[in-house]
Structures are given as structure tokens and as C-alpha cells.
Amino acid sequence: MVRRLRSLLFILLAAGLGAVLGRLALDARKRMEAGESPAAIDPSKITLRVQDVVPGLVAAFRVKDAPWSWFHIPSWLAAFTVNLGVGALGGDLARFRAQAERTAFEFAGLDARDFGLGGDDESVDYTEGEFTVPPEAVHGDQAGPAAGMPPAPPSDGVPPGTASPAPWPAPPANPAPGA
């Protein structure tokens, strides 16, 4: 009993230390991107929340389950490294994913923009109204289908979920590259 309590305390300590060091790494990275000295970090500004420690605790308790148990990772190490990684990334997963995609495409000798990935900016900004539905489609003010939407398939008395006697038209062929 004392051994398990000591192990749990050590896991909590490692998870907290990983979260704090992850936050310090995130702060240092943000300072470097802003052109400031990364060593000028104020540790008193680092706050630790329960949400920062939970991913490491979950990882610590999951290392005993297959397939993770095959690696024989100590629970305290899992708690520390997961919280360090989550804290250091600080919600920048989309930016790191885009950077990794660009690097992989460059390594393969391809241009990511040809595939609709990457670009010159590292963030995705959506214009206002890009994902909105026209008011006619919501309120039914328009007679017939909403603008830009295909008409409903003819039912011809066929119950839903069965094959329709009038199939949908085939989509147009993709244009040839460079055309």
C-alpha cells in the first residue's frame, strides 16, 4: 500500500514537473519568435492548472495496457514526457503539422502547393461567411432548391433506401493536369 502511494506521488510530481517545463519551453519559443532573449523567462508567470497535468496522468495509467505495455515504459516517465510535449507545443499542432507536410513534400521533390497543401503563410484564415448557409435555404423564402444546391432526386414512388429507377448523372471527368 505504501509502495503504491509513493508511486502515485512520484507520478504526480513527474507530471507536474513535465507540465511546468513544457510551459517554460513554450514561453522560450514564443520569446525567440518575437526576437527576444529566450533566457529571460519569468518562472513566476508560469501557472499550472489541473488540465495541464491530466494528459500525463492518463498516459501514466495507460502504459500498463497493450500495446504500450510492450515497451516497458515507466509510468512516471510517460507522465513527464507527455506533459512536457503537450506543454511545449501549446496548441500549435496545426502549424507543426503544416510544417511537417511541407518538409515531407520538399524531401520528395514536390511542391506542396500543387496538392493544395501549404502555401506561403503558416496559418489558415477563413473569410467571414465562407461556411455560411444562404438565408433562403434556412427560411424557405425561395421557391425550389437553394441557390447552388442540386435538385432532389426524383422519387417516382420508390421508398427511401431502395434503388431509384432514375440514377444520378455521372460527374464530369477531371481536367488533365496543366490544361
What's the chain's average pLDDT?
76
Query: Among 49, 60, 42, 58, which residue's Cα sits nearest to residue 19?
Result: 49
C-alpha closest to that of 29 among 74, 88, 79, 103:
88
Cα separation, 90 vs 169, in Å, equals 48
pLDDT tens track of the chain, all 179 residues? Answer: 899 999 999 999 999 999 999 989 888 888 888 888 878 877 788 888 888 899 999 999 999 888 888 889 999 999 999 999 988 887 677 777 788 888 888 888 887 777 776 554 444 444 554 545 555 555 554 445 555 555 555 555 555 555 555 566 777 777 777 65
- Alpha-carbon distance of 42 to 22, in angstroms, equals 14
Write the CB contacts of 155 (distance below 8 Å, at least 6 apart in sequence): 164
Q: In Å, how far from its chain's centre is CA 88?
A: 15
The count of other CB atoms within 10 Å of the CB of residue 69 is: 11
